[in-house]
Amino acid sequence: MPEFSRPALILASSSRYRRELLERLRIPFSTAVPALDETPQAGETPEATALRLAEAKARAVAATLPANAGRTLVIGSDQVATFDGRQIGKPGTHERALEQLRSMRGREVLFHSALSLLDTATGHADTVDVVTTVRFRDLPDAALDAYLRAETPYDCAGSAKSEGLGIVLLEAIDSDDPTALIGLPLIALTRMLLAARYPLLETRA
């Protein structure tokens, strides 16, 4: 498939982490911020929340495209962390982050990283949930506080960046997709893109 026939690709996210991950694939894309209420619905499981929001983000951005935009693939993604049966959001502050890390030390946390690829030509969205199990080390308060001050991960669910210094807080990570925990499962995404006949490794002759 020649370069000029590539469909447009849009990442429906404001996350710099997802943008940086997608840049690894060395393919052209743009970003758009979906206008969406991300509040979990009553009685909704963490997996259902992540899946619903991933697809909803893609559809919200697709709905803003002009009628003559042509075939476009829109990537939506959402991550929900769960611990003791409850959802864990982004802490926002140092105090909340420290509280999160204290409660999770020595314990396992599940991260649901949902991914959706919407093809505007068909209206179909391929959506999947990639689950990552993370076991936190049992570290003292002083170590947790030092980490938070060093990396300030207040915009990350779980209050730790596994791709950075936060790896020190983790005992083990179990996942089929190593980038899922950072926010965008690239193995799942490349599988979806190839299924949509998007050229990932082809160059113009």
Which of 80, 77, 90, 89 has its CA nearest to residue 12? 77
Q: What DSSP designation does 198 have? A: -
- Residue 141 known to be catalytic: no
Annotated catalytic residue within 37, 78, 176, 177: 78
C-alpha–C-alpha distance, residues 198 and 176, integer Å: 22
Measured N-to-C along each axis, helices 94-104 and 141-151 cross at an angle, to the nearest 10 degrees, of: 140
Nearest one of 83, 85, 105 to 157, comparing CA atoms? 83
Look at residues 82, 117, 133 and name the one whose alpha carbon lies nearest to residue 188: 117
Q: Which residue has the tokens 């949509």?
A: 196
Q: Hey, which residues are catalytic here?
A: 78
